[in-house]
Structure 1
């Protein structure tokens, strides 16, 4: 849920996102972001018209990611398509990812 906030068309609170996922190892946050969340929500950042300023509902995030994960399990072709897009997601989200990691490192060091 927290990582979907990276895909809204508004100011992103990296600190707020980091606080919600700081209990996870950074490698797990990275896996979830690029393999579960980005494939579902990246299109929101790529549209010309801003279409989400407030965030996604919890129900929408959970149902969309569950559909994506089910499709990953069932479709070899879908898995290949997602795997091919991971480099694109990493490129597009590079700055956001670095800012989030910096916040996570700071929070995890403070503990």
Structure 2
């Protein structure tokens, strides 16, 4: 349960969680199924500190983009860029800490929805 995620596992969790940020109806049951078996604490962390910072603008956009899903490649690259920027800059880390706190608050419902389908 508490094993370190491989890059492939982490990527598949990120891709699954990004589905929560599409404009169309979100299939929480399907996302929950794809993150099943991973440590919920770790998954929640990935949701708010890695996926949400990259994806939330999709929900905030007044005019939704034409495509409703995130292209996996794009998503993973954007997340990698975010994490690198955070790693390289103290200021960015401080700013992102605030942003992540805000994202946890604003998008707390996503995790609550996912937990409804979580079988311990």
Check whether TM > 0.5: yes
Q: C-alpha offsets along residues 25-65 of structure 1, whole Å, 9 cap, x if unaligned?
A: 11011110111111111111111111155311111111111
Structure 2 length-normalised TM: 0.82
* Deviates further, 50-59 or 63-72: 50-59
1:100 aligned partner? 114
Contiguous gaps of at least 5 residues in structure 2: 1-14
1:97 Cα offset (Å): 1.3
Partner of 1:66: 80
Which consecutive residues of structure 1, in runs of 5 or more, have no partner in the other structure? Answer: none
RMSD: 1.3
Q: 1:84 aligns with which of 70, 74, 98?
A: 98
Tell me what 1:47 maps to: 61
**Higher helix fraction (1 or 2):** 1
For 2:76 and 2:101, the matched residues in 1 are separated by: 24
The size of the alignment, in residue pairs, is 106
Poorly superposed stretches of 4+, deviation over 4 Å: none
